[in-house]
Amino acid sequence: MFRWILGIEYTWAVIIGGTVVLAYTLISGILGVTKNMQIQYVIIIISFIVPLFILNFKFDYSWLPAWVRS
């Protein structure tokens, strides 16, 4: 798959990816890595919650009482 997407072999893709992660960690430090993970967690949570609300409204399902929805 790496050869198909990036045009390079798997071994080189792993070496390049590891080098990029190591360089990022060395430059920004562990605080930068922690902040990056926090941002990723927020993006993941939002990407699960937004479609959930869209599907709830599309299928007319709500856990709220009818007088609150209208």
- Of the pLDDT bands very low, low, confident and very high (cuts 50, 70, 90), residue 3 is confident
Q: Provide the sign of the torsion angle of the four alpha carbons 23, 26, 30, 36, taken in this order.
A: negative
pTM: predicted TM-score of the whole model, two decimal places: 0.54
**pLDDT tens for each residue of 39-64:** 999 999 999 999 988 888 888 777 76
Domain boundaries, the chain: 2-69
C-alpha 41/C-alpha 48 separation (Å) is: 11
Mean per-residue pLDDT, 5-14: 86
Instruction: Return d(Cα 32, Cα 22) in angstroms, integer.
Output: 12
Q: Which residues contact 36 (CB under 8 A, 6 or more apart)?
A: 28
User: What is the arithmetic mean of pLDDT over 1-19?
Assistant: 84
